Amino acid sequence: MFDLVTIGEVMAELRRDTRKSPDWQIGFAGDMFNSAVYAARNLPPGRVAFHSRIGRDPLSADFADFAQAQGVDTAHVARIADRNIGLYSVSTDPQGERSFHYWRDQSAARGLMLDSETLPAARIYLFSAITLAILSPQGRDQLLKVLAARRAETGCHIAFDSNFRPLLWESHEAARTAIAAAWEIADIALPSVDDEMAIFGDPDEASVLARFGAREWHAGALKRGSGGPCPLGAPVDPGVSFAPATHVVDTTAAGDSFNGAYLAAFLRGAPEPERLTAAHACAAEVVGHSGAISPRA
């Protein structure tokens, strides 16, 4: 049994900062893979797995090697012969502005149909609104069904992050419906305040907190960027404060790294203030580096 299994898409990342070099650098990223990496860095070896699909192309092969080097198990990442790994580019111009381009329509992960037979056993499963967005409506329903059944059968925890990317969805209504259904099966909540306001139309942070406070969560936190997280599964501790990052280069994986560090601390049995502090510190360190995966300390 794994401690954590994350479910989603990983893509090859082409990154260029023209202020430093005209050359492109290749990496790998995707919200759920990023979270797996940062959880693995905070847990014993062999405890974190990524569940997805990739191709049999050279970049897919390089990803498998990269994930292994990061301590993430990929035994449950299927290799699909007629599809490729997704691809995106990030380019930073001389003024520091970033531009993104995506080639993911033929991504192997888009055909993922979660199957109870192939889903490995875990204490926690983590998925996101991006996971849902890349799937067909049938794939979304299947994912939610399988995870709900697994939680009922084994008592595992289901963690969800409403990571909202409007352009990935066929409509706002489809996004709102699917994300609301995901919250119904989750018991660990890792939302961001901006995403929740955009999805559900909450006018402010207090409204988001009130909505989440209307039900009981086993654990979780509302991510508020530099303002620091607010716990959802326990009362707010007035003695805990969160210093903003001192050096911000790239906020790409801020929320993903928070998720990974938070869940790792939860799995270690840390109390809520320690989980929040560790997760915020991880995110603050990650945003000081370019790219989704920061160098190992």
What's the one-letter identity of residue 89?
S
List, in order, residues 6 or more apart from 267 with CB less than 8 Å away: 3, 4, 39, 43, 47, 123, 124
- How far apart CA 253 and CA 273 sit, in angstroms, is 22
Taking the CB of residue 185, how many other CB atoms lie within 10 A of it? 18
* Burial environment of residue 183 by CB neighbours within 10 A (0 to 12, 13 to 18, 19 or more): middle
**Residues with catalytic roles:** 256
List the structure tokens of 108: 């192997």
> Which residues face 87 on adjacent strands?
12, 103
Per the CB < 8 A criterion, the answer to whether 280 and 221 are in contact is no
Query: What are residue 14's phi and psi, to 5 degrees?
Result: -100, 120
Please identify which residue in the block is written with the tokens 């603050």: 284
The edge-to-edge listing of strands for the beta sheet with 25-29 is 25-29, 11-17, 86-92, 98-103
- How far apart CA 89 and CA 231 sit, in angstroms, is 34
